[in-house]
Amino acid sequence: MPGITKRKYVGEMMRFAKSLKGPLNKIYEVLPCEYDGEILFKYFKILYPHLWKDIKERYQLYQNKDKFLVKNKKKRRYKPLPPKKYFFSLPKVKHILSDRQKLKHKNNCQNEVQKQKFLKLKQIRDNKRKIREEKIKKYKETLQEIEPMFIDILINFYYKKGNSVHEKMEIVKEMQKYDSKKVIEFFYKLNDSERNNQIRKIAFKHLQKLGYYVKLRKNFKGKKKSYMLEKTKFQVTPKELFEKIYNKETIQHLKKYDFFISHNYLDYELIIELKNKLNKKGYRLYIDWSSDNDFLKRNLSEEYKKFVIYVLQKRIEQSKKVLFVFTNNSKNKSWWIEQELNYAKIGKEILCVNYLNELCGFKEYKELK
């Protein structure tokens, strides 16, 4: 392993191992009077499941790096230990499992007291785990957990020679709408090798908010090129999306979906639930406030209203079918729903997810039942 790479890797290993000392000390305080390695390991997974997840993801991360090197006919650099083996290799774990520490613990221990300590710590940890999981769940709420049909197109466009930071940011924003294997690999690659500081930090924060193990790549050393320091606010309008979507050279023109979801925004929670069910069945969806959230701002002036409807019409063309969500909020069709359904009638099959015991006007979609 080259000197610089080795120093970075060793430094990261030391920092990660150090971050586990505090949790392991707390576990040591609640262990039963007599314990062994398996009990310590069991307690660690129960009390700090997110750290155990980090250990597993960290292993997979460095495994993938080694596989990439071997694929390119280079030697493995990292050779990470499997998760459980890594756990028992930690200096703190070895210290806790030493005969001296076991004896010290036993001499100052009462099993009933230890049980109470364990339950108290578990309650604290469970509360913190729930808070963390809620934050991740909220962040992932509108994301589609499926590979977009145009994933390879997006990646190829990103690495197209001559792309500006603004053009790359458009692809990053698009990728952030999905949580899938290829998308996560893409963001890990950006965090590792993207030279633009703004985009690299966005990739890091996105992975972190999704709950994945990630370490922020430091700024590249040496003379800073203008591309590295360039920034974009990516403030865009429906008119700009309209122009992009009808330009055959852009990613917006090439997008494809299984279903265009025609609905009332007041059914937000219901749409999120529907989105999750359809993603599990392998369907990619177009939902305007999620799929085009950077461009479509319906609260803008009337000047932009026509561009919004043109965009929605194009998204209907890019979708195999239209799915009308029939609820109390949508049965008296709004102007937007009327526009969508009237346009879809020209050449698209319209199905209805019927949440009311009434005729919805279209063939009902039975696959969810």
Spell out the SS3 assignment of the chain: CCHHHHHHHHHHHHHHHHHCHHHHHHHHHHCCCCCCHHHHHHHHHHHCHHHHHHHHHHHHHHHHHHHHHHHCCCCCCCCCCCHHHHHHHCHHHHHHCCHHHHHHHHHCCCHHHHHHHHHHHHHHHHHHHHHHHHHHHHHHCCCECCCCCCHHHHHHHHCCCCCCHHHHHHHHHHHCCECCHHHHHHHHHHHHHCCCHHHHHHHHHHHHHCCCCCCCCCCCCCCCCHHHHCCCCCCCCHHHHHHHHCCCCCHHHHCCEEEEEECCHHHHHHHHHHHHHHHHCCCCEECHHHHCCCCCCCCCCHHHHHHHHHHHHHHHHCEEEEEEEECCCCCCCCHHHHHHHHHHCCCCEEEEEECCCCCCCCEECCCCC
Point out the catalytic residue in the list 170, 174, 194, 340: 340
284 residue type, one letter: R
Please enumerate in sequence order all residues whose Cβ is within 8 A of that of 122, keeping only pairs 6 or more positions apart, or say none: 46, 47
340 part of the active site: yes
Q: Residue 20 has which token pair?
A: 């586990």
Q: Which residues are catalytic?
A: 340
